[in-house]
């Protein structure tokens, strides 16, 4: 895969560029906007149950507050953000044949994502329960994902044809490996959490990767098993900003100022926005800057994926 080159055409002037997946390949592009390209996201699709108290939470007792149930899942959130920004996006995921599964698929389709690759399985649709504090910051969460996407559920032709494949750490190691093997273009990975990064580390070790995006603890857990060979490593640091390590050096970016309502989905939005901008012709540092704007928009909204998100809105704030 490191020697593979692909020809892609971007809108906004019809510029044709060569994209290489190895660090020795030069990438010549211009930041024209929404790409004429397709992304396949492989990962989790579930419901998010987000609880937020009205005041500072008191431990070991019930706290008055609000509870919302919305479509979620790292892969699904990434796919919806990409679609809302204008990138053609396909989602490969698994949900149960139940009310939550129908909610997830219906909302994702309505957002513009191709959900033809979402499989119905016998297990229940997964759920993620997040407890926030009164300022919207995450106190803790529990992930229950019984509906699993197996290697047999993957559309390998779709993966092979994709201009970019995004994988999330909710995948079982065998499914992650199968999706990675089927991809012929660049691959991005979000390991999702420390336990999932540790579980996937042996599978990811030494594999070619365009972009690795995660928090510092997740990067450490993934590296403990032998890190993948990533062209770009992007450490997301929440309100402290992010650090992007690229072939042209290290880019340190400050977080955008935002009034935090709910931090759920901010990392998913950042990764989606980076991929959208990069496919549209942005250099890595520019793509990360664009992504920070999307993160600020996301945390200032009560929604996991901001429903009014558009490329035009983001550009107006750059």
Q: In what order do the strands lie in the sheet with 138-144?
A: 65-72, 46-53, 126-132, 138-144
pLDDT at 143 (0 to 100)? 87
DSSP label of 18: E
Alpha helices (H) in the chain, listed in sequence order: 74-85, 99-110, 156-161, 173-182, 194-204, 216-224, 266-279, 284-299, 311-316
Q: What angle do CA 125, 159, 298 make, to 5 degrees?
A: 55
- 272 Cβ partners below 8 Å, 6+ apart? 77, 78, 79, 80, 81, 82, 85, 166, 294
Q: What are phi and psi of 112, to 5 degrees?
A: 105, 5
pLDDT per 10-residue tile (average), the chain, 318 residues:
29 29 35 72 96 94 95 97 98 97 98 97 94 91 90 97 97 97 97 94 94 96 88 95 94 94 93 97 95 97 95 95
Within 10 Å of residue 101's Cβ, how many Cβ atoms? 23
Q: What angle do CA 257, 192, 253 make, to 5 degrees?
A: 30
Cα 206 to Cα 201: distance, rounded to the nearest angstrom: 10
Calculate the CA 158 to chain-centre distance.
18
pLDDT at 267 (0 to 100)? 95
Task: Please give the domain boundaries of the chain with CATH numbers for all domains.
Answer: 40-316 (3.40.1190.20)
pLDDT at 51 (0 to 100)? 95
With 0.85 as the threshold, say if the pTM is over it.
yes
């Amino acid at each position: 895969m490191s020697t593979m080159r692909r020809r892609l055409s971007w809108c906004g002037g019809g510029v044709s560029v060569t994209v290489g997946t190895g660090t020795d390949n030069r990438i010549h592009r211009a930041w024209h906007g929404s790409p004429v390209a397709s992304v396949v996201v492989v990962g989790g699709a579930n419901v998010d149950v987000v609880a937020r108290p009205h005041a500072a939470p008191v431990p070991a007792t019930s706290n008055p507050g609000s509870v919302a149930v919305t479509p979620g899942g790292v892969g699904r959130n990434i796919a919806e953000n990409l679609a809302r920004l204008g990138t053609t996006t396909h989602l490969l995921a698994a949900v149960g044949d139940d009310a939550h599964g129908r909610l997830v698929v219906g909302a994702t389709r309505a957002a513009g994502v191709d959900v033809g690759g979402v499989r119905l399985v016998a297990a229940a649709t997964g759920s993620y329960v997040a407890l926030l504090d009164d300022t919207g910051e995450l106190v803790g969460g529990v992930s229950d994902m019984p509906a699993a996407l197996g290697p047999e559920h993957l559309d390998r032709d779709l993966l092979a044809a994709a201009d970019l494949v995004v994988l999330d750490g909710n995948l079982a190691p065998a499914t992650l490996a199968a999706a990675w093997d089927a991809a012929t273009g660049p691959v991005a990975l979000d390991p999702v959490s420390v336990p999932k990064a540790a579980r996937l580390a042996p599978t990811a070790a030494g594999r070619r990767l365009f972009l690795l995006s995660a928090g510092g603890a997740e990067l450490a857990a993934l590296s403990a098993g032998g890190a993948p060979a990533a062209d770009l490593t992007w450490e997301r640091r929440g309100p402290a900003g992010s650090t992007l390590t690229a072939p042209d050096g290290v880019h340190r970016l400050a977080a955008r100022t935002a009034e935090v309502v709910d931090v759920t989905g901010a990392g998913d939005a950042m990764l989606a926005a980076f991929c959208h901008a990069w496919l549209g012709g942005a250099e890595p540092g520019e793509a990360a800057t664009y992504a920070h704007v999307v993160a600020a928009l996301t945390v200032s909204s009560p929604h996991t994926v901001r429903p009014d998100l558009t490329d035009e809105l983001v550009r107006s704030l750059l």
